């Protein structure tokens, strides 16, 4: 079956630091890959997505590249801000159903 493993948190960073959250997946076929973000007190929001190998998703300064050879979709941001403090979820889908990782809590300190 499909599964997602992402880096355990929590992660604490200073403002303007570089952020990487590792995500690897197991899937039959060729899934689409997603990063979702959950800000405190809010619902899940799609951050970025990639639908095929070598695609790069990007949004709000975050990037992730679909690496089929390493079955990975690591999230990166070059310079984080306090407002990036949130829980980040890696997810995959091969049709309509999403399979999520456990989430990584990121706290950015001023």
Partner 1 sequence: DTGVSQDPRHKITKRGQNVTFRCDPISEHNRLYWYRQTLGQGPEFLTYFQNEAQLEKSRLLSDRFSAERPKGSFSTLEIQRTEQGDSAMYLCASSGQGAYGYTFGSGTRLTVV
Q: Which residues contact 25 (CB under 8 A, 6 or more apart)?
A: 2, 3, 4, 5, 31, 33, 71, 72, 73, 90, 92
Q: Indicate the residue among 17 and 24 with the shorter CB distance to partner 1.
A: 24
Chain positions 75 to 104 lying near partner 1, rule: CB under 8 A, are: 89, 91, 93, 95-103
Which residues are 58's β-sheet partners?
63
Q: Indicate the residue among 45 and 83 with the shorter CB distance to partner 1.
A: 45
Q: State which of residues 46, 53, 54, 78 lies at the interface with partner 1 (CB under 8 A).
A: 46
Instruction: Say if residue 58 is exposed, middle or buried (CB neighbours under 10 Å; 0-12, 13-18, 19+).
Output: middle
45 is a contact residue toward partner 1 (CB under 8 A): yes
Site residues (CB under 8 A) for partner 1?
Answer: 4, 32, 34, 42-46, 49, 51, 89, 91, 93, 95-103
């Amino acid at each position: 079956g499909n599964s997602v493993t992402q880096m355990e948190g929590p992660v604490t960073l200073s403002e303007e630091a570089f952020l990487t959250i590792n995500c690897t997946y197991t899937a039959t076929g060729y899934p689409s890959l997603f990063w979702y973000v959950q800000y405190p007190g809010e619902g899940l929001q799609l951050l970025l997505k990639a639908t095929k190998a070598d695609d790069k998703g990007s949004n709000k300064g975050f990037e992730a590249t679909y690496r089929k050879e390493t079955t990975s979709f690591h999230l990166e941001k070059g310079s984080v801000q306090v407002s990036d403090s949130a829980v980040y979820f890696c997810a995959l889908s091969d049709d309509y159903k999403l399979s999520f990782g456990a989430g990584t809590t990121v706290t950015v300190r001023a």
